[in-house]
Amino acid sequence: MNNEETYLHGLLKKRKVVRNYIQTNKKYPNLKKVADYAIKIPTAGFARGIEIINVSSKENIEKLAKLSNEESYVEKGFDKWISNSLSIFVILVNENAYHERYAQMDKESVTNSSNWDIPYWYVDAGAAMMNCMLLIEEMNLKSGFMGSHNMKIDGIKSLLQIEESYKILGFVTAGVEGNVNTKKKDTTKKKLTHDEYFKK
């Protein structure tokens, strides 16, 4: 029994980042539930500083594609990605929620959230991102992630009415996979898991 593959094992084994979607008329109503389940994450101090916006209207998806510079992506020879998404999940980080929580009496003498070597708000946002991707995979769709480093942040905040103090981690996209990229991939394997001790 211990060697049998679980349902989660199967999801993780086939999950991959896909940046090439095809358009489809098929409806996926359960995509609206992804954000509700993806947000069920542990957050440092129960600060609850991570939020998700589900964007599913074609009009807003196309606007987000422009604001995330999809045109420059296509000009490099890649297929459209963001604009062909069925849904986009915008991962938001409310850093102030963590500072407010860790300034409270039961936390203030334990740790200072301003001095964390690794800010836990990004750890928590990553957990929400991964939940999104697995829930999308469960629907037999594919997911991708686009970080916010190449986006017109002010335009996105204006479009989606996001408070100025919030940060945008990026977009988790959901869509139907297009043609598989036939470019030769680097198959060199790097050891990423270790038993007992770190070993190269």
Instruction: Name residue 174's beta-bridge partners.
Output: 87, 143
**DSSP β-ladder status, 21-22 and 167-177:** antiparallel
Rounded-to-integer distance, Cα 151 and Cα 149, Å = 6
pLDDT confidence of residue 172: 98
pLDDT confidence of residue 2: 62
3-state helix, strand, coil split of the chain in percent (to 5) is 40, 15, 45
Is the pLDDT at 182 greater than 60, yes or no? no
- Structural domains for the chain: 22-177 (3.40.109.10)
Task: Say if CB 65 and CB 144 are below 8 A apart.
Answer: no
pLDDT band (50, 70, 90) for residue 187: low
3-state DSSP assignment of residue 166: coil
The burial class, CB within 10 Å (0-12 / 13-18 / 19+), for 113 is buried
Rounded-to-integer distance, Cα 171 and Cα 92, Å = 9
Nearest Cα residue to 142 out of 112, 176, 167, 113: 176
The secondary structure of residue 17, as a DSSP letter, is B
Instruction: Name residue 145's beta-bridge partners.
Output: 172
Instruction: Give the mean model confidence (pLDDT) for residues 34-58.
Output: 96
Helices H / strands E in the chain, number of each: 7, 5
Instruction: Give the mean model confidence (pLDDT) for residues 36-44.
Output: 96
- pTM passes above 0.85: yes
54-102 confidence digits (pLDDT tens):
999 999 999 999 999 999 989 999 889 999 999 999 999 999 999 999 9
